[in-house]
Amino acid sequence: IRHICAPQVYIILFVQLLVTFGFVAVCTFVVPVKTFVQKNPAMYWASYGVFFATYLGLVCCTKARRLFPLNFILLAVLTLAMSYLTGMLASFYNTNSVLMCIGVTAAVCGAVTLFCFQTKVDFTSCPGVMFALSMVLLLTGLIAAFTVPFGYIPWIQTVYAGLGAVIFTVFLAVDTQLLLGNRRNSISPEEHINGALRLYMDIVYIFTFLLQLIGSRN
DSSP character string of 122-177:
-GGG-HHHHHHHHHHHHHHHHHHHHTGGG---HHHHHHHHHHHHHHHHHHHHHHHH
User: Is the pLDDT score of 2 beyond 60?
Assistant: no
Are the CB atoms for 92 and 133 separated by under 8 Å?
Answer: no
Confidence band (pLDDT; 50, 70, 90) for 160?
confident
Predicted model pTM: 0.90
Range of lowest pLDDT (29-33, 72-76, 153-157, 195-199): 153-157
Q: What is the rounded average pLDDT of the residues 156-163?
A: 85
Q: Which letter does DSSP use for residue 217 in this model?
A: B
Is the model's pLDDT at 199 over the cut of 80? yes
CA gap 111, 191 in Å, rounded: 24
Task: Say if residue 218's pLDDT is above 70.
Answer: no
Amino acid 116: pLDDT: 81
